Structure 1
């Protein structure tokens, strides 16, 4: 996990309900909820402009975040984001508290590297998933999972079982059994390419 820290200031909000949330959004605020770790849920308010800027970084969705709430620092992960249907506006956030001794159930993005090398000659990459659901302790949470497309053969499909996860990180789907070994990415030959012609013969 990267040492880059994501920190947001938050305030506890007492006024709840649809009307109160609407007023907050008009005031450039984002209503949010913080729950988990065996503690009561807390309704929060964050600055929309700061959240909007922070979420531009992919790591915002996978990192452990720090929420400064009334002078107290709380570690949490982002569990859900609600957005306006057509405006660049975030309407609600869900945060889950992080307990160092309890495993997290979350998703991490997949980074496909060397795609330019894999697509030489007209090969086509088919992405089946862009994130992987995992379980791990907070200290083992990766920022992303990497797949080197230069090592993928034409016609090959990379499955979850082929993806090397960091130590202490488990795939939720694979834990369900071999029949849940999802396809992650496939490198296809160009349409009408050599491999297809050979198969036709």
Structure 2
């Protein structure tokens, strides 16, 4: 599994002044804060909006190196981003400082690899979990979790407990289903993906209950 990219992000320290926030945003900067191991209290700063949006456009896990004036830097992950309700532009970002010997909680995307023989035979692939919350030391975290489906036949499913995660602790139930290959209903096979936590349509749920 590939390691997360390390992205350098320019950070300019700022004072806590609500009256200044709007001016900061007019300068195409986004107010931000970093907290966590090695950081005393909350450190407030600003980052370039364009650079932050580029980070947000990547689904894979990334490590951020916050670069402050004078050569100071803080290793971190992007924890929370607030967006404008109308323009959807980022208006504030929370970063969490990381240390090599301190476990961190992150969400990692799940990517499917290969082609399922069950799908080729007409089965339908349902992916109900697209990302997984885990806890681990920063050094062992991958940028994404790759799941090989090249041996899955009709009727097979994968659960969280089937993942091979060395030194990584899943924070979801081990019985949580990642995906399932369901039998065909006739015609060509189709792939339907559901967002995390989304329920299947009623007709599919009824069919599943009957199996």
- The TM-score bracket by the shorter chain reads 0.7 to 0.9
1:119 & 1:56 partners in 2: Cα distance? 30
Say which is worse superposed, 113-122 or 5-14, in terms of deviation. 113-122
Instruction: Map residues 15-34 of structure 1 onto 2, 5 A cutoff.
Output: 15-17=16-18, 19-34=19-34
Give 1:137's aligned residue: 137
Show structure 2 runs of 5+ residues with no match: 188-209
1:151 & 1:117 partners in 2: Cα distance? 6
1:146 & 1:65 partners in 2: Cα distance? 22
Instruction: Map residues 1-201 of structure 1 onto 2, 5 A cutoff.
Output: 1-2=2-3, 4-17=5-18, 19-37=19-37, 39-59=40-60, 62-70=61-69, 71-115=71-115, 119-165=119-165, 167-174=166-173, 180-192=174-186
TM-score normalized by structure 2? 0.78
1:121-159 superposed Cα distances (whole Å, 9 cap, x missing partner): 443221211111111111111111111122222122210
**How far 1:101 sits from its partner (Å)?**
1.2
1:151 & 1:84 partners in 2: Cα distance? 44
The structure 1 segments of at least 4 consecutive aligned residues displaced by more than 6 Å after TM superposition are none
Mapped contact 2:116–2:153 kept (Cα < 8 A): no
1:51 & 1:164 partners in 2: Cα distance? 32
Show structure 1 runs of 5+ residues with no match: 175-179, 194-199
**How far 1:169 sits from its partner (Å)?**
1.0
Give the 3-state SS of the residue equivalent to 1:109 in structure 2. Answer: strand
1:168-193 superposed Cα distances (whole Å, 9 cap, x missing partner): 1111225xxxxx52111112222247
How many positions carry a matched residue from both structures? 186
**Higher percent of residues as helix:** 1
Q: What's the RMSD between the two structures over aligned residues?
A: 2.4
Mapped contact 1:115–1:149 kept (Cα < 8 A): yes
